[in-house]
A and B are shown apart, each in its own frame.
Chain A
Amino acid sequence: MAGIGVLGTLWLTSSCSPPPPSEPVKIGALFSVTGPASFLGAPEEKTVQMRIEQINAAGGINGRKLQLVVKDTAGSPEKAVSFAKQLIEEEKVLAILGPSTSGETMAIKDLCEQNQMLLVSCAAAETIVNPVARYVFKVPQKDSQAATWIYRTMKEKGISNIAIVSSTDGFGAAGKKQLEDLAPAEGITIVANEVYDKQATDLTDVLTKIKGNPKVQAVVNWSIVPAQSIVAKNMKQLGMDMPLFQSHGFGNRKYVQQAGAAAEGILFPASRLLVVEDLPANHPQKEVLATYKKDYESRFKEDVSTFGGHAYDALLVVVEALKKAGEPEREKVRDALETLTGVVGTAGIFNFSPTDHTGLDLTAFEMLTVKDGQFVAYKQ
C-alpha cells in the first residue's frame, strides 16, 4: 500500500521524455526568484528572460537559438545542489548562470568543478573565484573592490576611525570580512563592529551603541533592503551627522525613495548603470547601459537595478564566449571565456584570464552619492 505513492510519483517522472538533441543551445540558470534573496533573483530572472528573447529574435548565436532553463532556488543551498545536478545530468546545459547568493554558489562550486560544468555566478563573494576553479567564474565586482573604494574616499575626506554595521545575511558577512581585511593596509581603524539581524525592524539600539563611541568618524553599513534604509533613517533620527557609507547593495533608485530625506548624502560605490544619464556620450559603457535600462524599464515597469545587471553580464560573457568558440562545446567555450577581453557589460569592461575569473578591476566602480533624491557621481 505504501508503495503506490512512490511508484506513482516515479511513473509520472519517467513518462517525461529525455531532452531532444541539442539543436538550440541550452543555458541553465539558478536564481533565487522567491525567498529571502528574491530582491536579487527576481530582476535577474527577468533580465535573462528578456535578453534571451532579444537574442533569439535577432537570429540567435551562430545560427542557433538559445533555450533557457530557469530554476527557482528560493535562496536555499540544498535546492541549488539538487537543481544544479539536474541541469548538469538531465538538461546537459552548456553553462549555468547564477546562483544569486554566495552561499548557494559555494554549495555547488565543487560540484560544477568535478562535473566540468561552466558556472557563471551572480554572487559577489571573493571565495567563489579564490581559489580559482577551472570552470567557475563570476561577474559582479568583488567586495574587496567596493571596500577599497570606500576606504579611499574616506582617506580623501580625512576619516580614519570608523564603525562597521552589517547584516547577518551572506551579503553583509562577505562585505564585513573584506572591510576588516583591508582596513590595516588602507590605514583605517575599525573602532566599532556590529552585526544585526537582517530582519531587524529598528536599529536605534545598535546605532546608539555607535553614537556612544566618541572616536567614530564615519559609519559603513553593509546590508540590503530594508535594513539599509532603516540604518539611514535611524541615524538621522538620532542626530548622527557623520558620513554614512553604504555598500554597492544600495543599487536601486527605489531604495533612495524608501529612505527618503534620510538618504541625502549617503556615499556608496556602484556600477555606472545608476548614473547612465550623466555619463559622457563617448563613455564605452554608455550605449550598453542606456539600452539595457530602456529595455528593462519599458518592459517590466520598474526601476533597473545593478543585480539584474549581473545576470545581463553573466549571459553576455557566455554568449560572447560561445561566439568566439564557434560551437556549443563546453570545453571550447570555457577556454574562450577564460581569454575574453574587452567585453563591455553593465558592471564594467571584462578582461578574463586563467588567474582572474572575475575580469573586472577597480574602474568598474564609481563613487556615487545621493543629491535631491537622485544618484549622482561623488566629487570631492
Chain B
Amino acid sequence: MQNESLALQYLLSGITKGSIYAVVAIGFNLIYSATGIINFAQGEFLMLGGMVAVTLAAYVPLPVAVTGAVALVALVGGLLELAFFRRLRRHSILHLVIITMGLSIVIQETALHIWDEKVRSLPYFTGNEVSSVRFLGAAISPQVLWVLGTVALAVLGLHFFLRYTLTGRAMRACSSNPEAAMLAGINIPNMRTLAFGLSAALGALAGCVVSPMTMTHYEMGAPLAIKGFAAAILGGLGNPMAAVAGGLLVGLLEAASVSCLPAVYNDVSAFVILLLVIFVRPQGLWGALAPDRVREH
C-alpha cells in the first residue's frame, strides 16, 4: 500500500470517529447555549436512540424505527427538562450539572434493566458489514457516508432553524440575553424544554446512524459523551460549527496518534492536547471569549 493512500486512510478513519464526536458535541452546545448547563447525560440519548431503534426494527421497517426512536427520545429529553430543570430554577448551575451526572447513571442503569447487558446493532443502512466504498486507494464503509451526511444535514438544519425561523431566533435570543428575551415576550422555560428535546432528538438520530458501526449497548453513552464534551470544549462552547470542527479535530488527532504511537495511547494524546488548549486558549479554538456569558456557578 502506498504511503499516500495510507495517509488518506488515516484521514478517513479520523473523520469517521470525528463525525460521531461532532454530533455529540452539537448536542452539548444546544443545551449549553439555551440553559448554561453542561449535560453529562448527552451520551445516554445516543444509547437510548440506538436501543429503541433496534427494538422497533424487529417489528417495523428501518426508516420507521429510526423515526420512532428519534421522536421517543426527543420526548424523553423534553420530559427530563420538565421534570427536573424547570422545577429547579433556584438551584445553581453546579447543582444542575451534578443532576445531569445523576441522570446519566440512572438512564444507563434503567437501560440495563429494561434491555440487558448484550450488544445489539441496527443493520447497515446500505450494503452490509463487508461492503466498502473505494476512494483513491483507501476504503470507507458506506455507513460512514450516512453518518457524515446526517451530521451535515443536522448542522445545516440547525443553522437554518436558529437563523431563519421565529422559534429558532427566539431560542438564540434566550441564550444571548435572557432578560431582554423575556421582556420581548419569549417564553424562556418553553425554549429550554425545546432545546432539551432537540438535543435529545439529535443524539438519538446519531445513535441510530452509528449503531451498525459501533454497535449499541447500555454502557456506550458515557465514553461518547466524554469525547463529545472534549470536542465541544476544544471547538469552543456555544457555537455549533465550532463543535463540528472540534469533533473532527479530536477524531483526526486520535487517528494521527495511532499512526505514530502505540494505539493504546490514542486517547491520551487527544486529551493531553485538549488540556493544553484549555490552558492556553480557555475559550476553545473558535469560541469567543465573553466573560459575561460564562456564568459563575
Contacts and interface: CB of A to CB of B under 8 A. Distances in A.
Q: Chain A contact residues (Cβ within 8 angstroms of B): what range?
A: 35 or more
A233 interface: yes
B140 interface: yes
B44 interface: no
B214 to A, nearest CB: 4
Nearest to A252: B118
Interface in A92-113: none
B12 A212 contact: no
A42 B117 contact: yes
B139 A238 contact: yes
Contacts of A38: 112, 117
Contacts of B20: 201-202
B130 A237 contact: yes
Interface string B114-135: 0011111100100011111010
B224 A201 contact: yes
A199 B43 CA distance: 13
Contacts of A262: 129-130
Given A36-B219, A197-B266, A197-B267, A202 B129 contact: no
Contacts of A215: none
Contacts of A225: 119, 215, 217
B215 A212 contact: no
Given A39-B117, A42-B117, A201-B20, A233 B213 contact: yes
A259 B139 contact: no
A212 B16 contact: no
Nearest to A39: B117
B264 A238 contact: no
A204 interface: yes
B258 interface: yes
Contacts of B140: 237
A199 B263 CA distance: 13
Contact of A202 (B16, B130, B264): B16
A226 B214 contact: yes
A34 interface: yes
Given A39-B118, A194-B263, A197-B264, A230 B14 contact: no
B117 A196 contact: no
Contacts of A239: 132, 134, 139
B110 to A, nearest CB: 12
A289 to B, nearest CB: 22
A233 B130 contact: yes
A211 interface: yes
A206 B130 contact: no
A229 interface: yes
Interface in A202-238: 202, 204-206, 208-209, 211-212, 214, 225-226, 229-230, 232-234, 236-238
Which of A165, A205, A233 counts the most B-chain CB atoms under 10 A from its CB? Answer: A205
B263 A229 contact: no
A205 B112 contact: no
Given A205-B254, A206-B258, A225-B119, A168 B129 contact: no
Interface string B63-102: 0000000000000000000000000000000000000000
A223 to B, nearest CB: 12
Contacts of B118: 39, 254, 302
A238 B10 CA distance: 11
Interface string B1-22: 1000010011011101100100
A86 B116 CA distance: 28
B185 interface: no
A299 to B, nearest CB: 15
Nearest to A33: B117
B279 to A, nearest CB: 25
Contacts of B134: 239
Given A39-B117, A237-B130, A237-B139, A202 B215 contact: no
B63 to A, nearest CB: 20
A261 interface: yes
Interface in B12-35: 12-14, 16-17, 20
Contacts of B10: 205, 208
Contact of A201 (B14, B17, B219): B17
A284 interface: no
Contacts of A196: 263-264, 266
> 9 tightest CB-CB pairs across the interface, nearest first?
A38-B117, A201-B214, A204-B13, A262-B129, A236-B130, A260-B129, A195-B264, A205-B13, A237-B132
